[in-house]
Amino acid sequence: MNSIKKKLSRYISISISVLLVSLFFITDISVDSWISNEFDRAMVNKAGLLETLVSEAPEKIDFDFADEFMPEFSGVNDPEYFQLWRDNKIFERSETLKLFEDNELPRLAVALHKSSIINITLPDGRSGRMYFTRFKPQIDSDIDVKEAFGLAREEFVKNQKPMELAYATSNEALNQILWFVDIIFIFTSISAVIAVRLIVFNVVERGLKPLDELNAALKQINLNSEVSEISTNTLPEELVAIAEGINHFISENKILYSREKRITSDIAHELKTPIAELLNLSEVAIKFPNEKQLAASFKTDVLTITQRLKNIVNGILLLQKSASLSELEKQQVNVTLLINTIIITENKNARDVKLSVHHQCENIKTNEFAFTTVLTNLINNALYYSSDSTPIMIDIAPDQKTNKMKVTISNFSTFDYSEQDLVLFFEPLWQKDSSRTSEERYGLGLAIVKSYCEKIGATINVSIEHDQKIVFTIII
């Protein structure tokens, strides 16, 4: 099973850890480079100092070096080394080189005034680095070159013989520092990864805690509980929309549940009466088998009651069919012909039905069965729930607002309806007559109309005007 908490913790931990380790790695390389560069710079400065101690006089070259000022070149504790060459011969070397049999530093091929730094093994066996350069010694400032050599200073400098200097020192302390920095880097990286993992896990766990609270609140809600919604007061902003969607879903389901309970009760009530009548007829017929009057009407009564049961069941099945999820096939329907056919079929008492069809609305592409069922029920209702002396008005014209077809069916009702009643018109098995005295009406017709309108993409509304004029409007 996938876990949002684990995935989120893993991805965030890996991302931050990779970022931190990368930063630490770059920092480690930068620090190592800086320390190495500083070490090399110190070597260059020390070698430069040794170069300044060499000066050229008319008949000799002086090396003004004193061991007491640079004891690292004469002692045995952490010794350093230097060596000078002139004319490919050793000119001078440090006292520390004289302590060992291998007492020469390697020479390198470098250009004049150029230098090179390499790693070597020192005469004492330690690892070290050596700076090697080729230079011309400085001229003693107390000597007049013109008088001493008969040349101008520039000419004398050009003809000077170059000297070579090698300076070497141990880099073991440097390597220890670099290793120490690397160890710190590794330890810091591991600690950072562990810390990030713990912090991210705790943060994610706390961040997802509202989801657990939302889940706990959902578990307390059921269709029969008094709690009908989740409070959004303490929820974070990201969960408010989800909670509102859940609340809407709960509200819709509670309404549907209440509706189904009422429908179940109404269906049981509708079926109870004819079943009770059948039982009574059967019991009486069994008890009085020789009663001629009862025997004469028994078959007709049973057929009437059975037909009523059949109509109720057919109405329920038609309502169930209208609510199915299957798509309805559409075809061209002649509206005028269809309505005239329905009027002829339903208007058995030759009532006054006024039909007006706009020329633009004579044909429509829709499902013929669904559209016929809708119009049949509405026209039948209009004929049944109005007095014979009042007309039925059917008007079909383009709707100016939506550019669709507008079907209006109106009649003057024999019942006094209120605005509250209009809300219940399309509820299954709802009847204005709560005693349900009618044996022909079951309150399913308008529910079927509403369901089929939704299936064919139409909207239906009902309104009440003066003198209890009921107006059904379909936009399709």
Sheet holding 469-475, edge to edge: 353-357, 392-398, 405-412, 469-475, 459-465
Task: Say which residue, 177 or 160, is predicted with more confidence.
Answer: 177
Token couple for 199: 């912090």
Contact in structure between 270 and 305 (CB atoms under 8 Å): no
pLDDT in tens, 197-209: 888 888 888 887 8
Q: How many CB atoms lie within 10 A of CB 263?
A: 19
Helices and strands per DSSP (H, E), number in the chain: 11, 15
Distance CA 56, CA 93 (A): 18
Nearest Cα to Cα of residue 217 among 243, 255, 256, 248: 243
The mean pLDDT value of the chain amounts to 81
DSSP secondary structure letter of residue 350: -
Contact in structure between 83 and 105 (CB atoms under 8 Å): yes
pLDDT in tens, 47-71: 999 998 988 776 678 888 887 888 8
pLDDT, position 301: 75
Helices (H), 53-149: 145-149
Q: CB-hemisphere CA count at 13 Å for 227?
A: 11
443: left (phi over 0), alpha (psi -120 to 50) or beta: left
Q: Hunting for tokens 């080729």 — which residue is that?
A: 134
pLDDT, position 318: 66
Tell me the mean pLDDT in the region 400-405. Answer: 83
- Chain center to CA of 212: 19
Please determine, for residue 242, whether its predicted confidence score (pLDDT) is greater than 70.
yes
Nearest Cα to Cα of residue 308 among 282, 283, 349, 272: 272
pLDDT in tens, 445-457: 788 888 888 888 8
The verdict on pTM exceeding 0.85 is no
pLDDT, position 299: 75
pLDDT in tens, 86-139: 988 999 988 888 888 888 899 999 999 899 999 999 988 899 999 999 998 887
Tell me the mean pLDDT in the region 321-334. Answer: 73
Distance CA 371, CA 255 (A): 28
pLDDT in tens, 424-435: 777 776 666 555
pLDDT in tens, 156-167: 667 778 999 999
Q: How many residues does the structure list for the chain?
A: 476
DSSP assignments along 418-474, one per residue = -HHHHHHTTSTT--S-TT---SS--S-HHHHHHHHHHHTT-EEEEEEEGGGEEEEEE
pLDDT, position 58: 65
Contact in structure between 425 and 462 (CB atoms under 8 Å): yes
209-219 and 237-287 helices cross at what angle (nearest 10)?
20
Contact in structure between 325 and 453 (CB atoms under 8 Å): no
